């Protein structure tokens, strides 16, 4: 997918293929507007690679002030990981970089919620526009609440019709 870089847009950077499958389901949700200005980018290839990609991402945000970045990772049951990753995301572009995660890998979430990873992605997006939080209240995802609120405040107009 390509984006109009001169209008508000969102680049989504998934950690791995399982996370990307959730993202694809989210993006294909009926709730996401058909003309959403977003792109699913190349897989990070592991959560630590996020740090390696940050300079490139910050350069991009410097060139395109309408851009937003969403990193999506799994925490592999490490409750300290979000703070570690957030520490890497500092500086002038931190307000346009977001981090959402699952406490376990997506396949564990899939076992508990049942359905394909794509279906789970759709369910998560269905909960977003109206600030419903049933799926996001799941124990694997509940830690995202403050970041999800910050993300939605910035990206709601990119993803959803008013």
Q: Give the start-to-end residue ranges of the domains of the chain.
A: 9-159
Asked if 74 contacts 102 with a C-beta cutoff of 8 angstroms, the reply is yes
Domain at 9-159: CATH code: 3.40.50
Nearest-angstrom CA–CA distance, 135 and 96:
24
- Per-residue model confidence (pLDDT) at position 1: 58
Strand segments (E) across the chain: 9-14, 38-40, 67-74, 97-102
Is the confidence at residue 37, as pLDDT, over 90?
yes
- Per-residue model confidence (pLDDT) at position 130: 64
pTM of the model: 0.93
pLDDT-based confidence at residue 132 (cuts at 50, 70, 90): low
- Per-residue model confidence (pLDDT) at position 11: 97
Q: For 58-108, what is each residue's pLDDT tens digit?
A: 999 999 999 999 999 999 999 999 999 999 998 899 999 999 999 999 999
């Amino acid at each position: 997918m390509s984006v109009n870089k001169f209008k508000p847009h969102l680049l989504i950077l998934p950690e791995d293929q399982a996370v990307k499958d959730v993202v694809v389901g989210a993006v294909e949700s009926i709730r996401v507007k058909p003309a959403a200005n977003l792109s699913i980018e190349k897989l990070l290839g592991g959560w630590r690679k996020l740090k390696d990609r940050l300079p490139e991402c910050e350069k991009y945000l410097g060139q395109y002030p309408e851009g937003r970045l969403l990193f999506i990772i799994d925490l592999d049951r490490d409750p300290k990981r979000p703070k570690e990753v957030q520490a890497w995301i500092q500086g002038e572009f931190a307000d346009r970089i977001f981090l959402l995660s699952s406490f376990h890998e997506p396949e564990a979430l899939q076992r508990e919620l049942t359905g394909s990873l794509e279906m789970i992605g759709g369910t998560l997006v269905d909960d977003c526009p109206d600030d419903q939080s049933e799926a996001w209240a799941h124990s694997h995802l509940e830690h995202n609440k403050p970041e999800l609120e910050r993300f939605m405040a910035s990206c709601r107009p990119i993803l959803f019709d008013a």
